[in-house]
Every structure is written in structure tokens, then in C-alpha cells.
Amino acid sequence: DLAFAAKHAGVIQMADILPARRARGPNEPGGIKFGHFADMVQGDRKYPHDPARAALEVVGAGTMLFDQIWLGSYMSGGVGFTQYATAAYTDNILDDYTYYGMDYIKDKYKVDWRNPSAKDRLKPTQDLVNELATEVTLNAMEQCEQFPTLMEDHFGGSQRAGVIAAASGLTCGIATANSNAGLNGWYMSMLAHKEGWSRLGFFGYDLQDQCGSANSLSIRPDEGCVG
């Protein structure tokens, strides 16, 4: 199978076709549905009592495939996506931020996140998203200010913004069992981050992640069940 995939990758249909404005061909990595990808990673099967770890496995694999390989190499010809993506799957910084969020929802709201159940999930309100994302974001920013070596590792604004927002989104998503609350937690983190440090990343983040809060609560994501 490995030899065939290496020699004849073009005939293996790995993905659905992308929207025409994004597609360069009919069989791109970007066409792999996120839900399918999460199933492929098998994090839920391997870590049934640690949804944070299961989600982190998906994040790590996703940044490798979608950001590094597809966006970084194939779409833009290699312009530094590697540096931004590796921040999500090297060392344990994102893990620390995320587990801080897990401890917070357990201590304050008694959410038993290690044993996922509909009984103790929180109602996905904007106030809750604001609170959880702000708490996780401020903790992460304090870590950056306290440990110089952390800033040496995440030396770019995009790295810091992406990793902090990912931890915020995971915290909101796991606490509520609502993917859209998790998505909105990402955007809330971006706004809090910008408010604290005046800027996010190099070009991109200052654009899409400041309009995301409104977009993620519009009718468009609901049409496609996007979270």
C-alpha cells in the first residue's frame, strides 16, 4: 500500500472537490472533511477519557496536513507555514494551555471532562464563551511574559495567536459539547489577545480573526453545520 501510494498518488481519491474559488485540482488534501479527518486520527478511540488529548492529536495532525503540506507547500510554495504549524505539535505548550482550561471548567463548573456526559455540559452562551476564552488567553499571555524561553519558541505573533486561540477553542468546545462555541472561543481569544498586546500575527491574523466572531454566529455556518 505504501509503495503504491508513493508511486501512484494521483490515482488515490483522498478528498472531495473543493469550492472552485479555492481548488487547483479535484483531489487535494484540503478537500478532506474535518469530521472525516478527526475520525482518521482515532484520538477518541485511543483516549476515551481524555477528550483534550484526543483533540490535541487532531490539532497536531491537522496543522501538519492542512497547514504545512497543503497551504504551506502546495498552495503558497513554502513561505513559512512550517514555523507556524509546528508550534501546535511540538513541545507541550499547547497542551499546558489546554489543560489549564480543563482544570478551570472542572474547578468552577464541576465539568467532569474526563468522562464526557451530556449531564454536566454547560449551556453554550456568549457570556460563557467570553469567560472561558478570556481566562485561558490571559493565562497563556501571562506565561509568555513570565518565561522568556517560551517567547523564544513561539517567536512569531501567528504562533502565539494560533496556539492560544486553539486552547481557548478547545476549552469552550469541550465544556459545552458545541463545536460552534469552540469556534467562537477561538475568535474571542483573538480579540482579547489583540486588546492586550495590540497586534496578533504577521498579516493574516489581523484580518480574518477579527471578523470571525460575527461570521461564526451568522446563518452561514449553520447552513453547513460548520463548527
3-state secondary structure the chain: CHHHHHHCHHHCCCCCCCCCCCCCCCCCHHHCCHHHHHHHHCHHHHCCCCHHHHHHHHHHHHHHHHHHHHHHHHHCCCCCHHHHHHHHHCCCHHHHHHHHHHHHHHHHHCCCCCCCCHHHCCCCCHHHHHHHHHHHHHHHHHHHHHCHHHHHHCCCHHHHHHHHHHHHHHHHHHHHCCHHHHHHHHHHHHHHHHHHHCCCCCCHHHHHHHHHHHHHCCHHHHHHCCC
Q: List domains and CATH numbers for the chain.
A: 91-224 (1.20.840.10)
Report residue 146's pLDDT band, with 50, 70 and 90 as the boundaries: very high
Q: What's the pTM?
A: 0.85
**What tens digit of pLDDT does each residue of 150-180 get?**
988 888 888 898 899 999 999 999 999 998 8
